[in-house]
């Protein structure tokens, strides 16, 4: 289990974060970037899962820039409010918070980033702007940034049945970054990793994406062959 801390950002604003540390010497660190619903129990569990694999994991509470302690429900009201908060926070401020989070766990070693939904695009931007190895899950906003190169290795995960990311959008990303692995999971839709939501969770896809993400970080952060 992790703990809540205060995280100093590039500006004067202090935001919260959830940190989960491994029992022994860290193999590296992972910044876990939330969906548009906040640092929910699910996101905290993702951080705990990385810590169980030997990584120091930190999940910054990006919405604290606007409103403290936001945890939205997975329904239409939560979706609407989450979209509003994402717009208010803005991508630039989100990337700055990733940099601050990475700095706060720098003692863990090499730091990567994983993100989901909106966080998937934040993870992409961290690979482009911060040179952080990134695992991006179903980032529907990725196509806005196709004209910028990756400055660090990245892998991408998409659901084949995700209406927000049609095959043409995936093809455009592959054309933009041909060396970046892009995995498409049959039978999976958007948010297929969210195991607390039976409406979207797809266990085979989530398990395979987890294995691929862990192997990626083992290689890029921990130096495992």
Q: How confident is the model at residue 215 (pLDDT cuts 50, 70, 90)?
A: very high
| pTM assigned to the model | 0.96
- Give the tens place of pLDDT for each residue, 172-200: 999 999 999 999 999 999 999 999 999 99
Band of pLDDT at residue 9, cut at 50, 70 and 90: confident
**Domains present along the chain, CATH in parentheses:** 3-220 (3.40.50.1820)
Write out the DSSP string of the chain: --EEEEEE-SSS-EEEEEEE--SSS-SEEEEEEP-TTBS-HHHHHHHHHHHHTTEEEEEE-GGGGTSTT-B--SSHHHHHHHHHHHHHH-HHHHHHHHHHHHHHTGGGSSEEEEEETHHHHHHHHHHHHS---EEEES-TTGGGGTTS--SS-EEEEEETT-TTS-HHHHHHHHHHSTTS-EEEETT--TTTT-TT-TTT--HHHHHHHHHHHHHHHHHHTS---
Residue 197 annotated as catalytic: no
Catalytic one of 42, 64, 117, 157: 117
Annotated catalytic, 207? no
Residue of 69, 190, 195, 197 marked catalytic: 190
Name the catalytic one among 69, 162, 186, 195: 162
Query: Catalytic residue at 162?
Result: yes
């Amino acid at each position: 289990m992790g703990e809540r801390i205060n995280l100093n950002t590039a500006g004067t604003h202090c935001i919260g974060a959830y940190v989960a540390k491994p029992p022994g010497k860290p193999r590296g660190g992972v910044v876990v970037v939330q969906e548009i619903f906040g640092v929910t129990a699910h996101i905290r569990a993702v951080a705990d899962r990385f810590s169980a694999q030997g990584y120091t994991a930190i999940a910054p509470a990006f919405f604290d820039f606007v409103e403290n302690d936001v945890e939205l429900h997975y329904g239409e009201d939560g979706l609407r409010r989450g979209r509003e908060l994402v717009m208010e926070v803005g991508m630039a401020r989100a990337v700055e918070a990733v940099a601050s989070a990475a700095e706060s766990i720098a003692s863990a070693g090499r730091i990567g980033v994983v993100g989901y939904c909106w966080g998937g695009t934040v993870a992409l931007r961290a690979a482009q702007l911060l040179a952080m190895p990134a695992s991006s899950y179903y980032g529907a906003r990725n196509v806005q940034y196709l004209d910028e190169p990756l400055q660090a290795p990245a892998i991408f995960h998409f659901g084949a049945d995700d209406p927000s990311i049609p095959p043409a959008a995936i093809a455009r990303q592959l054309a933009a970054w041909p060396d970046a692995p892009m995995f498409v999971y049959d039978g999976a839709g958007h948010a297929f990793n969210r195991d607390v939501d039976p409406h979207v969770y797809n266990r085979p896809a989530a398990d395979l994406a987890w294995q691929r993400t862990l192997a990626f970080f083992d290689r890029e952060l921990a130096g495992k062959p």
